[in-house]
Chain A
Amino acid sequence: MDLQLLVTIFPQVLLDGILLGFMYALIALGYTMVYGVLEFINFAHSEIFIVGAFVGVEILLGLKSAGLLEAIPWLPVLLLVLVAGMAASGLLAVSIERIAYRPLRHAPRLIPLISAIGVSFFLQDAIRLFESIWRNAFNLVYPTLDVLNRRYDLTSTIDIPLKSVVVIAAALLMLWALWALVNRTKIGTAIRAVAEDQAAASLMGINVNRIISLTFLIGGAMGGAAGVLFGVQYSLVNPYTGFIPGLKAFTAAVLGGIGNIPGAMVGGLVLGLLEAFAASYLSLLTGGAFGAEYKDIFAFSVLILILIFRPKGLLGEVVRERA
Chain B
Amino acid sequence: MTHAAASIALLALGGAAVWIYPRSILAFLVFQCALLAIYVARVPWWLRAALLAFGLLVMMPVIGGRNGYYLEVATQVCIFAALALGLNIVVGLAGLLDLGYVAFFAVGAYTWAIVGSPHGNVIFGGGFPLPAWMFYVFLLVGLLVAAITGVLLGLPVLRLRGDYLAIVTLGFGEVIRVLANNLDKPINITNGPKGLTPISRPPLPYFVEYNQGFYFLVLLIVIVVILVNRRLEDSHIGRAWEAMREDELAAQAMGVPLVRSKLLAFACGASFAGVMGVVFSAKQIFINPESFTFLESIGVLAMVILGGMGSIPGAVVGATVVTVLNIQVLKGLSLWLNELKNAGTTILGYNLANLPTQLEPAKYERMVFGIILVVMMIVRPQGLFPARRRQRELAHLGEGTPPAAPPS
Residues in A lying within 8 Å of B, measured CB to CB: 40-41, 100, 103-104, 107, 109-115, 117-126, 128-129, 131-133, 136-138, 243, 247, 250-251, 254, 288-291, 293-294, 296-297, 300-301, 303-304, 307-308, 311
Spot the interface stretch: B44-52, B137-145, B362-370: B362-370
The distance from the CB of A97 to the nearest CB of chain B, in whole angstroms, is 13
Residues 158-194 of B at the A interface (beta carbon under 8 Å): 159-164, 166-168, 170-172, 174-175, 178-179, 181-182, 185-186
- Partner of B363 from the list A111, A121, A128, A131 (CB cut-off 8 Å) is A128
Q: List 7 A-B contacts (CB under 8 A).
A: A109-B163, A121-B298, A125-B363, A125-B364, A138-B358, A303-B167, A308-B156
With A122-B374, A126-B367, A300-B174: A289-B186 Cβ-Cβ less than 8 Å: yes
A294 lies within 8 A of B157 (CB): no
The 8 closest A-B pairs by CB, nearest first: A118-B373, A122-B370, A121-B370, A300-B171, A125-B367, A118-B374, A132-B358, A136-B356
Q: Are A122 and B367 touching (Cβ within 8 A)?
A: yes
Given contacts A117-B298, A121-B373, contact A300 B172 (CB under 8 A): yes
Contacts of B378 in A (CB 8 A): 100, 103-104, 115
Chain B residue numbers with a CB within 8 Å of A129 are 359, 364, 367
- The reply to whether B178 and A250 form a contact with Cβ atoms under 8 Å apart is no
Q: Are A119 and B171 in contact (CB under 8 A)?
A: no
If A40-B163, A109-B163 touch, does A117 touch B373 (CB 8 Å cutoff)? yes
B402 → chain A, closest Cβ, in Å?
A: 23
B residues neighboring A (CB under 8 Å)? 95, 97, 99, 156-157, 159-164, 166-168, 170-172, 174-175, 178-179, 181-182, 185-186, 294, 298, 301, 305, 356-359, 363-364, 366-367, 369-375, 377-378, 381
Q: Are A133 and B356 in contact (CB under 8 A)?
A: yes
Contact for B182 among A131, A254, A288, A294, CB less than 8 A: A294
Known: A118-B371, A125-B370, A297-B179. A132 touches B359 (CB 8 A): yes
Contact B367 A111 (CB under 8 A): no
Q: For the complex, what is the distance from the CA of A118 to the CA of B373, rounded to whole Å?
A: 5
Q: State the majority secondary structure of interface residues on B.
A: helix
Nearest-neighbor residue (CB-CB) of A123 within chain B: B370
Task: Please give the distance in Å from A137's CB to the nearest CB on chain B.
Answer: 6
Which residue of A41, A132, A133 has the most chain B CB atoms within 10 A of its CB atom? Answer: A132
Q: In this complex, what residue of A is CB-closest to B299?
A: A121
Within 8 Å by CB of A115, from B166, B171, B373, lies B373
Cβ of A89 to closest chain B Cβ, rounded Å? 18
Cα A301 to Cα B175 in complex, Å, equals: 9
- B241 CB → nearest A CB, Å: 15
Tell me the smallest distance from the CB of B123 to a CB of chain A, in Å: 16
Most buried by B among A114, A119, A122: A114
Q: A118-B372, A247-B167, A303-B168 are in contact. List 4 more A-B contacts (CB 8 A).
A: A122-B370, A247-B174, A289-B186, A304-B171
A110 touches B97 (CB 8 A): yes
Point out the residues of chain A lying under 8 angstroms from B358, CB to CB: 131-132, 136-138
Chain B residues with Cβ under 8 A from A126's Cβ? 367
Docked complex Cα distance between A138 and B358 (Å) = 8
B171 partner, pick from A133, A303, A311, beta carbons under 8 A: A303
Which chain A residues lie closer than 8 Å to B373 at the CB level? 114-115, 117-118, 121
A104 B377 Cβ-Cβ under 8 A: yes
In the complex, what distance in Å separates the CA atom of A254 from the CA atom of B374? 25
- From the candidates A107, A117, A119, A294, name the one contacting B178 in the complex (CB within 8 A): A294
Q: Which residues of B contact A120 (CB under 8 A)?
A: 370
Contact check, B163 vs A304: say whether CB atoms are below 8 A apart: no
| A311 to B158 Cα, complex, angstroms | 13
CB–CB A121/B186 < 8 A: no
Q: Measured between alpha carbons, how far is A40 from B377 in the docked complex, in Å?
A: 15
Q: CA of A118 to CA of B381 in the docked complex: distance in angstroms?
A: 13
Q: What is the chain A residue whose CB lies nearest that of B155?
A: A308
Known: A137-B358, A304-B157. A118 touches B370 (CB 8 A): yes
Interface centre among A40, A113, A123, A301 (most CB of B within 10 A): A113
Which residues from A are CB-within-8-Å of B175? 296-297, 300-301
**A294 vs B305: C-alpha distance when bound (angstroms):** 33
Query: Which residues of B lie under 8 Å from residue A132 when comparing CB positions?
Result: 356, 358-359
Q: Please tell me if the beta carbons of B357 and A136 are within 8 angstroms of each other in the complex.
A: yes
B186's closest neighbor in chain A, by CB?
Answer: A289
Which of B157, B172, B357, B366 is the one whose CB lies under 8 Å from A125? B366
Query: Residues of B contacting A119 with CB < 8 Å?
Result: 370, 374
Q: Which residues of B contact A247 (CB under 8 A)?
A: 167, 170-171, 174
CB of B182 within 8 A of CB of A293, answer yes
A113 B367 Cβ-Cβ under 8 A = no
> A243 to B161, alpha carbons, bound, how many Å?
22
Q: How far is the CB of A139 from chain B (nearest CB, A)?
A: 10
A136 to B356, CA, bound (A): 5
Q: In angstroms, how far is the closest chain A Cβ from the Cβ of B87?
A: 13
**Cβ B171 vs Cβ A114 within 8 A:** no
Residues A41 and B374 in contact, CB atoms below 8 Å apart: no
| Bound form: Cα–Cα A138–B356 in Å | 11
Given contacts A124-B366, A297-B175, A297-B178, contact A100 B168 (CB under 8 A): no
Query: A174 to B370, alpha carbons, bound, how many Å?
Result: 32
- Distance (Å) between the CB of B175 and the closest chain A CB? 5
A291: chain B residues within 8 A (beta carbon): 182
Residues of B within 8 A of A307 (CB): 157, 160, 164, 168
By beta carbon, the residue of chain A nearest B372 is A118
Complex alpha-carbon distance, A119 and B298, angstroms: 12
| B373–chain A nearest beta-carbon distance, Å | 3
Nearest-neighbour CB distance to chain B for A299, whole angstroms, equals 8
Known contacts A121-B373, A289-B186: does B298 contact A304 (CB below 8 Å)?
no
Contact A110 B162 (CB under 8 A): yes
Known contacts A118-B374, A125-B364; decide if A293 and B178 are in contact (CB<8 Å): yes
